[in-house]
Amino acid sequence: MITIEDVIKNAKLNIDARREALIRSAYQTALSAHAGQKRKSGEDYIQHSLHTALNLAKIGMGSKTISAGLLHDVPEDTQVTSEEIEKKFGSEIAKMVDGVTKLGKIKLRGTKEENYLENLRKMFLAMAEDIRVVLIKLADRLHNMETLESLPPEKQERIARETLEVFAPIANRLGIGEVKVRLEDLAFKFLDKENYQYVSEILAEEKEEMKKYIDIMIADIRKELTKEKITVLDIYGRSKHFYSLFQKLKKHDMNIDKIYDLAGIRIIVPEIVNCYETLGIVHKKYRPLVGRIKDYISLPKPNGYQSIHTTIFGPAGNFLEIQIRTKQMHDEAEFGIAAHWIYSEKKKGFRNFFFREKAKVPEKEIAWVKQLREWQNELGKDDKELIESLKIDFFKNHIFAFTPQGDIIDLPEESTPIDFAYKVHSEIGHRAMSARVNGKMVPLDYKIKNGEVIEIITSRDHKNPSRGWLNFVKTSAAKSHIKKFMKKEGMI
């Protein structure tokens, strides 16, 4: 059982007296409204409200969002109305609670296909309205998954699949690594009990030996870094999460010997320059595995993730992954968009932040959220096309490609030079004639690989989108531009 003290104590932001009073008032309202209510697990309903708020506090949300987390089920499940919440806590909190209530009515599994598509559309459009509503929903879903045992098997399966297919990818796209892996592991446990058990046994077998080995490695690395006067903010061992290990095992015919990052060490240092210095020191001490060095600092992942990863040969001949990052990078990897929000506001000063909690998340962080709205406007009521776009542009893994000038273009996997061209500019897409990848000519339906340099050769004289392009382009932006052009020219 947790208390409101746990929520306040775990807040990442320095909650002042006024903000603390707001959270406590929301708690008292929720406690009174849910009095006598029990969950299927048998616990008092207020425990769910508290766990939701605690999850929000841990990822760095402010007092208004935490308060909305405490109140998120009040209008739906009690006699207290939305109007009463607005009167007591203001329109901003009331709108968040109302947004979560609406999302709660969306059932993404076990519905007719057309309802499923319409409901999924509503889910994504809610994100475009206020990202905090979706963060509350993720916090709510996390606790629901932690107590899923108490529901009937058919509900367990529906909720777990919905979690794996929709909520975990949303957490990933928002960069909230900690929530993503917990949702995946919990869903995996209910959807594939046999393989979950198999993976848990593998990790259990390796656990003791890995811990001893990692403890020795940590001591050695810390000693080397101290000798070179590198400040270490934190250094600790980490093991693979259940679901991500299973995904890797599937790629390697379930052969555990082919998994190089079963265990690893994470090193947190103060500055970016220290990350590269640390990498050099680690490589001087241990031989790196060729082709296993990934610099996500100079080339971040599309969700903003930054870190350096290297796999080394340890003293006992074991492979070990080392991750090196700054404190800010670590917070952003764990808490995603919430951390970006906090760090951007810290620069302006905490006092400013407290009086402007509705400060916007940096524009670049939510560009893809705005794109959701644009898709809806472009596609109208064509739900199937919208969902197909979401599956590719949102859920699919992303890659980076470069322009010849070195600009980074973020694309879904299996994108083509035409997708690349339209991502740069619609006119470049319309005028594309051919393409070079790393200096070599390729067909326009070539599938771009991560890190390749793409040069689009265009026609100055005429625009030439082809109907055939629609058969191989992947992104909704490319499809939309091609169709618009063809309609304008009377080609369709």
**393 or 201: which carries more pLDDT confidence?**
201
CB atoms < 10 A from the CB of 153, how many? 8
Q: Which two tokens stand for residue 326?
A: 């700054």
Residues marked as catalytic: 76-77
Per DSSP, what are the bridge partners of residue 326? Answer: 269
Distances (CA, A) of 414 to 140, 369, 399, 419: 34, 22, 9, 10
**333 or 8: which carries more pLDDT confidence?**
8
The C-alpha atoms of residue 64 and residue 266 are separated, in whole angstroms, by 33
Q: Residue 257: is its pLDDT beyond 80?
A: no
346-377 burial, b at 16+ Cβ within 10 Å, e below that, comes to eeeeeeebbeebeeebeeebbebbebbeebbe
Per DSSP, what are the bridge partners of residue 437? Answer: 440, 454
Model pLDDT, residue 370: 58
Q: What is the mean pLDDT of residues 142-147?
A: 95
> Locate tokens 């390729």: which residue?
442
Model pLDDT, residue 358: 42
Q: Which two tokens stand for residue 228?
A: 């070179």
- Report the phi/psi class of residue 362: left, alpha or beta, with left for phi > 0 and alpha for psi in -120 to 50: beta
User: Which of 293-302, 387-396, 412-421 tops mean pLDDT?
Assistant: 412-421
Q: What is the mean pLDDT of residues 403-417?
A: 85
Q: What is the mean pLDDT of residues 329-346?
A: 69
Model pLDDT, residue 291: 81
Give pLDDT tens digits for 377-408. Answer: 554 545 555 555 555 555 556 777 888 887 77
The C-alpha atoms of residue 190 and residue 28 are separated, in whole angstroms, by 35
Which numeric CATH code is attached to 193-334? 3.30.460.10
Mean pLDDT, rounded, of the chain: 83
Which numeric CATH code is attached to 4-189? 1.10.3210.10
**Which sequence spans correspond to the domains of the chain?**
4-189, 193-334, 396-488
**281 or 351: which carries more pLDDT confidence?**
281
Model pLDDT, residue 365: 44
Q: Residue 340: is its pLDDT beyond 80?
A: no
Model pLDDT, residue 351: 38
**302 or 286: which carries more pLDDT confidence?**
286
Does the domain at 396-488 match CATH 1.10.800.10? Answer given as no
Q: Residue 485: is its pLDDT beyond 80?
A: yes
* Residues 473, 479, 481, 487, Cα dihedral to 10°: 120
The C-alpha atoms of residue 343 and residue 327 are separated, in whole angstroms, by 11
